[in-house]
Amino acid sequence: MDIEGAEGKVMKNGEWLDHVKQIAIELHGRENIEAIPQLLRNKGFVIRFMTGNDLVKNALKNSFLHPISFIKAEARTKVVLNYFKRKYDVPALSREEYKILYGRK
C-alpha cells in the first residue's frame, strides 16, 4: 500500500484487516509510523520494517525470477548499481519520516 500519507485514514476503521493475511505499507509521517504498527499488532500481525538486506534480497530474487525484466529496468534506472556505490538514497532506509512495513498473521 502506497497512498502518500493517507495510510491513517484507510486504517482508521481497520475491520477490513480481519480478512488480510499479509500486508506491505509505505508509511509517511511520524504519526503513521508510530500508530499503524501498533494497530496492526492489535489485529494479530507480526510486523517488521524494511532493511537494506531486504532491498538486496528482493533485487537478487527478482534478477533470478525475471532476469530480462530486471536487466532492462536496471539498464534504465541503475538503482542497484547506484545503491552499491552508495549513490542511491532509499528514503525508507535513510529518512525518519518514511518507512516500509511488512506484516503477516
Q: Flag whether 60 is in a domain.
A: yes
Beta strands (DSSP E) in the chain are 22-28, 46-49, 98-104
- Domain span at residue 49 reads 7-104
> What is the tens place of the pLDDT at every residue in 36-74?
999 999 999 999 998 878 878 888 898 999 999 989 998
Q: Flag whether 2 is in a domain.
A: no
> In the prediction, which pLDDT does 92 show?
55
Number of domains forming the structure of the chain: 1
> In the prediction, which pLDDT does 69 show?
93
Q: Flag whether 69 is in a domain.
A: yes
Q: Flag whether 1 is in a domain.
A: no
Q: Flag whether 44 is in a domain.
A: yes
Q: Flag whether 82 is in a domain.
A: yes
